[in-house]
Structure 1
Amino acid sequence: MTGSAYFMASTAETISTHTLVVEVDNEPGILARVVGLFSGRGYNIESLTVSETQHAEHVSRITVVTTGTKSVIEQIKAQLDRLVPVHKVVDLTETGRALERELMLIKVRGKGEQRGEALRIADAFRARVIDATVESFVFELTGRGDKLDQFIELMRPIGLVEVCRTGIAAISRGPDPLGG
């Protein structure tokens, strides 16, 4: 049964969002294999962030945000764990001790009064101006996804032009390493 078919068949279980961290060898094709696992089973990826985190060991960290029932999430984790250059799979949502942040660049057009309003809102959200012209601003903002969404909605009537988001980066709280 595919992931989407499973969602329809399982009405008794609650669907929730989970942040999974997958540590892998940094080698060609591993990201395609991880993404292929999701798409091949009909699971959606809400956010995907990838970067080499241990340069000397050639280890990368893939952070995937997905939704599903508890059993679907367990199935995803088990299937990821079986992929060969995967070192570790951790569900940061289960630990309840995760910090999640996202970076956004947002371009806003504005003249006159709208420029002042855009700057006031940006200040309230602690957004940085990283580029300014006579007719537009580019703001940089870091935070939780809901904060970024609010900022976008407030900028829309002022003159939202373009949005670029990185996807979620997540790490567990406390002194222990991932899954420690």
Structure 2
Amino acid sequence: MAQYYGIRPGSQPHTLSVLVENRPGVLARVTGLFARRSFNIDSLSVSSTERPDISRITVTAYADPDPLEQIIKQLNKLLHVLKIVELDPDQAVERELVLIKVKANERTRSDVLEIVKLFRVRVVDVHPETLTIEATGAQGKLDALMGLLAPFGVVELVRSGAVAVTRGPKALSEKVPGTEIGEFMNR
């Protein structure tokens, strides 16, 4: 029986940024590796990069250091995986997007709008019975926002996976052949 490496007391959140070739089936291989190793993925985001032939997979998971090191080694062995970096929270900018549809009738609407103003987020849909709020930010900010809105009644919620980049001028793709931004943009 496989040991479960999901959220356990003492486990720490880790964010992996994985550059892969933009090909069918690569995401399935990457997530399949996490499943085979009994890791629970907390957040997953896949997007294009400055090059159309490379995608970035951002994975957040709670794990102990040793099992995480093993999964990174196995990811490096996968076909079409170009580079893997564990992002240091102090050296990266990480954000998520959340859409929250919350009950807001005539009596409670002004209270919900005060919370929206306090968090500097946006109302993107207004209905006589609900407000839909769009917020981007760090996980802690979004958790706090959802905590304040919960008493009003959350009708629907959707949250994106985290996306992250390192701080400063260096790009994750710097050492991947042919990824110099100027080289690609001048083609």
Please say whether Structure 1 and Structure 2 have the same fold, judged by a TM-score greater than 0.5.
yes
Q: Does the CA-based 8 Å contact 2:6-2:39 persist in structure 1?
A: no
Whether 1:21 aligns to 2:45 is no
Residues 1:175 and 2:169 are matched in the alignment: yes
Q: What are the superposed Cα offsets for residues 120-159 of structure 1, whole Å, 9 maximum, x if unpaired? A: 0011011101111122111100011121111112111112
C-alpha distance in 2 between matches for 1:151 and 1:121:
8
Q: How far off is 1:7 after superposition?
A: 9.2
Residues 90/106 of structure 1: CA separation in 2 closer, same or farther (3 Å cut): same
**Does 2:74 correspond to 1:106?**
no
Q: Which amino acid aligns with 1:160?
A: V
Count residues in correspondence.
174
Q: Does the 8 Å CA contact 1:20/1:91 hold for their aligned counterparts?
A: yes
8 Å Cα contact 1:108/1:159 also seen in 2: yes
CA RMSD after TM alignment = 2.2
* Structure 2 CA distance for aligned equivalents of residues 4 and 169 of structure 1: 25
1:90 equivalent in alignment to 2:85: yes
Counterpart Cα distance in 2 of 1:16 and 1:29: 29
TM-score, length basis structure 1: 0.89
| Superposition misfits of 4+ residues, deviation over 6 angstroms | 5-8
Residue 149 (str. 1) matches residue 137 (str. 2): no
Paired residue for 1:76? 71
- Tell me what 2:117 maps to: 123
Which residue is 1:4 aligned to? 4
How far apart in 1 are the matches of 2:7 and 2:45?
25
Confirm whether residue 47 of structure 1 aligns to residue 36 of structure 2.
no
The answer for unaligned runs of 5 or more in structure 2 is: 175-187
Mark the runs of 5 or more structure 1 residues left unpaired by the alignment. Answer: none
- Seq. identity, %: 43
